[in-house]
Structure 1
């Protein structure tokens, strides 16, 4: 029988221990500028600590084109065409936790500025009526091109999103805090700082 007094038992750790296996993480960029991925890479040497706990699946870091079963999916950019929707739905099927990263993924961002005009008007302006175009220019209609959506849409309008990481782009520190919280099994802390209206 133990003689240790119950009040002197060591306190349990405040958070669960880091997982024994590496978490599988996938990332992709849809209708956006790729700025969120660049900001993620700004965690600099901390990425060496990160890869002790994660393994990248589909991502620009691996150049894989298909996403496999993953613990976490990070998606930047909104939805402007049918291919974007297909990729998003594939990520939702394959990723246990899905995160909308940055303003374009969360609200449609800058690409959604075209929503104020009709798609035929925009295509005509860009491909047929813009100054400097040759006479007889046509709107591209190759069947290999993804079908454009009438409006750019944020991710949560198409699939269930588990977390939103705001910013344009989110800072490297925001990525670091968010990911290390998830890796440790904590609910991610989302500061109000990344949301600004200036």
Structure 2
């Protein structure tokens, strides 16, 4: 008998893939983060032939290894947007420039079974790269990001992804770091400022979604 967990995820991932494709996203399926890295660097990158690339913070994307491969590719100018020791104004300027690259890579906070990408951002550079600017965008998504609908997506973002991100960045003093729950806070370090819901991809297939049959990321 097939593993019930595997069958469960095949059904849910299959439903999401069909919904995303109906919404004009270009969808790839990966068995794990290593396979996702192979798809990005050996399939998507050669197809697009980007001259410039950058990324928005994503633990899932980092786990694929694709960022390191792009950094080390002599044919690609990679814009570093998280370099330690660089003054904040310079980092912000680099993030502005990253919105003009040929290829932008990131993750998502939630994916509904209707094929909607739901995100909540601090300054907007990550969601900006998804919505508009880069010629092409790759979004890596672990199966743990899948939710039934928008209401569940927002609940997941507020009470799972956001508090975990707060804990991940201890320099930001937010109440969710202490409680693990969203307080809709007024902290000057608030990391939850810009909601986006991507219903459909336009132009069609500009956004490449890599669905990963593995729990990963926040």
Give the TM-score taking structure 2 as reference length.
0.40
- Whose radius of gyration is greater, 1 or 2? 1
Give the TM-score taking structure 1 as reference length.
0.43
Of the two structures, which has the highest relative contact order with CA contacts closer than 8 Å and spacing of 6 or more?
Answer: 2
